[in-house]
Amino acid sequence: MFAASETSRRKVRVAAMRSLLLAVPRSSDVGELFHLLHRELSRLVDTTGFLLGLYDEASQMVEVVGQIEAGVVLPGGSFPLGNGFLSEVIRTRQPRHIHHWSVEGPRVQVQYATGTPGLPEATITVPLMLADRVVGVLSLQSYRPNAYDEDDLFTVQALAPQVSATIAALQPQQGAQAVRRVSKLEAVLSSMNEGLLILDEAGRIESLNPPAREIFGPIGDGIILGQALDDEQQGHWPLGARAVAEALAPVVEALRRGEPRRDVEVELSSQGRRVLSFSGTPLCDANGQPAGGVVVIHDVTTQRDVARMKDDLLSITSHDLRTPLTVLRVQVQLIQRALQQEAASPDELRSRADLMLNQTDRLTNMLNRLLDLTRVEAGRLDLKLERVDLSQLIRTTVASVQSLSSLHTISVHTPKRLEGDWDEGRLGQVVQNLITNAIKYSPEGGRIDVTATTDGRNVTVSVRDQGLGIPPEDLPKLFERFYRVAGTRGLEGSGLGLYICQGILAAHGGRIWASSAGRGQGSTFSFALPLTL
Ligand code: ADP
């Protein structure tokens, strides 16, 4: 019984195939071919989703002749060969039979908005080949898992050569020109650096160029064409993120009224911080009515970061430079007054001059730090490598720093000599920075241990103090520029020292890190670097 019905099913299929194979070459254009294929294949297999695409090898463009989704004809359009599902079938020249997409299928990048919730669950998608050339792609989709069996795959594959031959026969008259004409515009759009969205009069995405796919692809579950940008459907936003939809809402609103809208920004935090800027320009139809528009997308993350850094720099420098300048001015005024009143004693003048010298040193240090900051930022920290004895360098630095405080005892634990090829000035700067920090952030005084060891290839130096300590959540951020731990801001500092130390060590092929058992538990700052570069 089963065998009989199976045989009759085969017979029907063979008969349908025969008439289809005869009908296909009689199509007078690719549009007619598309409708014929859809109508006839529907008798044999599930064609809930159906798409015919032409491929032009020269320009690497795919021109969608047409697509049908649950009986509704959707707009065609064209796109450059990319990394999506159809492109992969064209590229690999291999047919794909997916039984259960949500379980085994590749991620869908671009999809059309439809009344049916969810994505197709099964597909047969075959390349249309002519000799070893791909001339197109034919895709059948269904929302039912396992909608297609091996016979269906065989049927579609058996049909493919006839469809390819028909396309090739029709192409010289029409197909290729159409693809090439569209390709020129597409080529211009794809060569742009900016992302670009083309919207219809209702604010639905008609198409987007590759940079836009790159920007929005990773944000959400994929890009949904044919859905208004400010419209959520079944939990999906057309460009993946609610923040994008919210930022674009006023742009889309303006385009619906036929008005431009410039530089609307949105900050996204998924996949790292990114700042996108949107500008919309309206398009009009022949009667001057609003007909959608174009939205240009710039990734302005770097510009915003630079602007933020400039602001930080400006506020910090203006604050930190003003203090010593004020002190200098007051001292000069006091000296002037004493001279006018002829009451200036040499002792007073000497102590004021000392104070002024001290403040000018502070200013010079600060300016040097800013200069170093710009050098580290630009990767232009040029090193003057020479033979350096690190043990000696540590001893000299400790001797000069020890005189700053009688509250602290600095002990040095180093081998007698520890030689390597480094920039002596820069390395001295790192050692000095770590030791002065150890003093500064142990306001109660205490013991400071400076240790250096080597394994014959690298040296490791650590500076341990018994001071304020560092909360665990601050440890990873200490080496960011301008970062200061809350509670230490009353102590003088710019938050630049460790950032610059990190830059100096990185230029030497080394690294720096910090550890602390927590607030009030003291801190250890260590760095390691190779003996020779
Ligand atoms: P500055 O000392 O000028 O603020 P640094 O970059 O040298 O800048 O240090 C950054 C921050 O790291 C300091 O503001 C301080 O909060 C913390 N820090 C650095 N060294 C120590 C230390 N030895 N003990 C505790 N906190 C420290």
- What would the pLDDT profile of 489-532 be if each residue is shown by its tens digit? 677 788 889 999 999 999 999 999 999 999 999 999 999 999 99
Same domain for 13 and 151, yes or no, is yes
Per-residue pLDDT, averaged over 451-477, amounts to: 96
Closest Cα partner for 98 from 129, 69, 140? 140
Query: Looking at residue 274, what is its pLDDT?
Result: 82
108-141: per-residue pLDDT in tens? 666 665 655 567 889 999 999 988 889 999 999 9
Considering the domain boundaries, does residue 135 fall inside one? yes
Question: What residues does 390 pair with on adjacent strands?
Answer: none
**What does the block give as tokens for 144?**
């039912």
Question: What residues does 68 pair with on adjacent strands?
Answer: 50, 73
Question: Which of 334, 352, 378 finishes a domain?
Answer: 378
Same domain for 367 and 454, yes or no, is no
Same domain for 496 and 393, yes or no, is yes
CB of 497 within 6 A of ligand 1: the answer is yes
Same domain for 425 and 353, yes or no, is no
Query: Looking at residue 309, what is its pLDDT?
Result: 78
Which CATH number characterizes residue 362's domain? 1.10.287.130
- Number of independent structural domains in the chain: 4
Query: Looking at residue 108, what is its pLDDT?
Result: 64
Instruction: Report the separation in Å between the CA atom of 525 and the middle of ligand 1, taken as the mean of its atom positions.
Output: 10
CB of 523 within 6 A of ligand 1: the answer is yes
Q: Cβ contacts of residue 113 below 8 Å, gap of 6+?
A: 204, 224, 225, 226, 227, 233, 238
CB of 484 within 6 A of ligand 1: the answer is yes
Same domain for 476 and 414, yes or no, is yes
Please give the residue range of the domain that contains residue 209: 192-299
- Kindly give the pairing relationship between strand 205-208 and strand 195-199: antiparallel
Instruction: State the average pLDDT for the chain.
Output: 85
CA separation for the pair 491, 488 (Å, rounded): 6
Question: Which of 378, 402, 428 finishes a domain?
Answer: 378
Same domain for 455 and 497, yes or no, is yes
Measure the CA angle with vertex 214, ends 209 and 219; round to 5°. 125
CA separation for the pair 249, 177 (Å, rounded): 37
Considering the domain boundaries, does residue 323 fall inside one? yes
Instruction: Report the separation in Å between the CA atom of 497 and the middle of ligand 1, taken as the mean of its atom positions.
Output: 8
Query: What's the pTM value of the predicted model, to 2 decimals?
Result: 0.53
Per-residue pLDDT, averaged over 41-63, amounts to: 87
**Range ranked top by mean pLDDT from 56-60, 152-156, 375-379:** 152-156
**Range ranked top by mean pLDDT from 71-80, 170-179, 243-252, 473-482:** 473-482
- Least confident among 7-11, 137-141, 214-218, 272-276: 214-218
Which CATH number characterizes residue 124's domain? 3.30.450.40
Q: Is it the case that residue 96 has pLDDT exceeding 90? A: yes
289-326: per-residue pLDDT in tens? 888 888 898 888 888 888 887 777 777 777 778 888 88
Same domain for 400 and 500, yes or no, is yes
Considering the domain boundaries, does residue 113 fall inside one? yes
Instruction: Report the separation in Å between the CA atom of 382 and the middle of ligand 1, taken as the mean of its atom positions.
Output: 25
Query: Looking at residue 441, what is its pLDDT?
Result: 95
pLDDT grade for 438, boundaries at 50, 70 and 90: very high
Ligand 1 pocket test target in 368, 437, 465, 482 with most atoms within 8 Å of CB: 437
Per-residue pLDDT, averaged over 1-12, amounts to: 68
Question: Which of 273, 299, 325 finishes a domain?
Answer: 299
Query: Looking at residue 404, what is its pLDDT?
Result: 78
Ligand 1 atom closest to residue 495's alpha carbon, by position in its atom list: 8
Ligand 1 atom closest to residue 442's alpha carbon, by position in its atom list: 24
Same domain for 157 and 84, yes or no, is yes
Closest Cα partner for 452 from 403, 394, 409? 394
Q: Is it the case that residue 174 has pLDDT exceeding 60? A: no
- Helix axis angle for 424-440 and 390-402, nearest 10°, is 40
356 by Cβ neighbours in 10 Å (0-12 / 13-18 / 19+) ranks as middle
Which CATH number characterizes residue 393's domain? 3.30.565.10
CA separation for the pair 408, 268 (Å, rounded): 48
Q: Is it the case that residue 2 has pLDDT exceeding 60? A: no
Considering the domain boundaries, does residue 183 fall inside one? no
Per-residue pLDDT, averaged over 443-463, amounts to: 96
pLDDT grade for 1, boundaries at 50, 70 and 90: very low
Which CATH number characterizes residue 227's domain? 3.30.450.20
Considering the domain boundaries, does residue 187 fall inside one? no
21: left (phi over 0), alpha (psi -120 to 50) or beta: alpha
